[in-house]
Copies of this chain bind each other. A is one copy, B any other.
Amino acid sequence: MGVSTPSRRERLRAETAAEIKTVALGLMAEGGPDAITLRAIAREMGMTAGAIYGYYETRDTLVSALITDVYTSLVDTVEAARDAVPADDAAGRILAWGQTLREWALANPEGFRLIYGDPVPGYQAPEGGAAAEAAHRACAGLTGLVAAAWPQAVARQPGGYDWTDFDPILTGLVRAEFPGLPPAAVALALRVWGRMHGLVALEVYGHLRGQTKDAGRLYLDELRDLTRSLGLEGRPAAPA
């Protein structure tokens, strides 16, 4: 049924739905997430606000769609940066991921706020929502980075813990991609996530402005300390 040949109507409809998101992103770029207004979008498109309800159930629905798009774009960016570094350079890959995350956040502060800040007043990420998929990709990517350093890292981790009570969704997904990797590695990946997120969030939200003028070096120091704590000393491991 129209899967192969979308009718003219379906095509126009999809184009309009996409234009709404594009215009919304433009409004967000100047004026922040609060500038995403159905009336402003409609104004920009030569429509009336009510018309948008034919494409998105509510404003929150639209914003959720934007979150998914932006989150996906972020994950695409950091994954690309990671893949530009040789796979045997575990430290380099972590640095690339981390620095690209910060650069993306500084270049798209509104997008970063949209993803990690208050998305919508009473917003709750839908359980199986599409945005959760981007989060899982990010987490899986970090797990991959940690996995590459796991042998060195595990020696520095005191106490084995059991770490068996992870969310089944993630555990299943990551186990499928990294068979044999213990849950503790995922825990470590989440901690790495938190470590990268912390300074970037503080910087994006302006909390470092009054404290330092070189947040970039601060962050680089932190990433270097991170790779060191994973047992990755500076250069990639030369083949034995």
Contacts and interface: CB of A to CB of B under 8 A. Distances in A.
Query: How would you classify the secondary structure of chain A's contact residues: helix, strand, loop or mixed?
Result: helix
A5 to B, nearest CB: 37
A132 B210 contact: yes
A206 interface: yes
A165 B213 contact: yes
A213 B32 contact: no
A116 B218 contact: no
Given A193-B202, A205-B117, A211 B166 contact: yes
B225 A229 contact: yes
Contacts of A186: 211-212
A36 to B, nearest CB: 11
Contact of A135 (B124, B194, B210): B210
Contact of A116 (B33, B195, B207): B207
Contacts of A207: 116, 135
Contact of A212 (B35, B135, B166): B166
Interface in A160-179: 161, 165-167, 169-170
Contact of A191 (B161, B201, B221): B221
Interface string A35-59: 1000000000000000000000000
A17 interface: no
A213 B116 contact: no
A139 interface: yes
Interface residues of A, number: 55
Contacts of A199: 190-191, 194, 197-198
Given A187-B212, A201-B201, A124 B217 contact: no
A21 interface: no
B213 A167 contact: yes
A91 interface: no
23 contacts: A32-B121, A33-B118, A118-B205, A135-B210, A136-B210, A139-B211, A158-B228, A161-B221, A165-B214, A166-B212, A167-B211, A169-B210, A170-B212, A186-B212, A190-B218, A191-B199, A193-B202, A194-B195, A194-B199, A194-B202, A194-B218, A196-B198, A197-B198
Given A132-B210, A167-B212, A186-B212, 7 more contacts: A116-B205, A117-B117, A118-B118, A139-B211, A190-B218, A193-B202, A229-B229
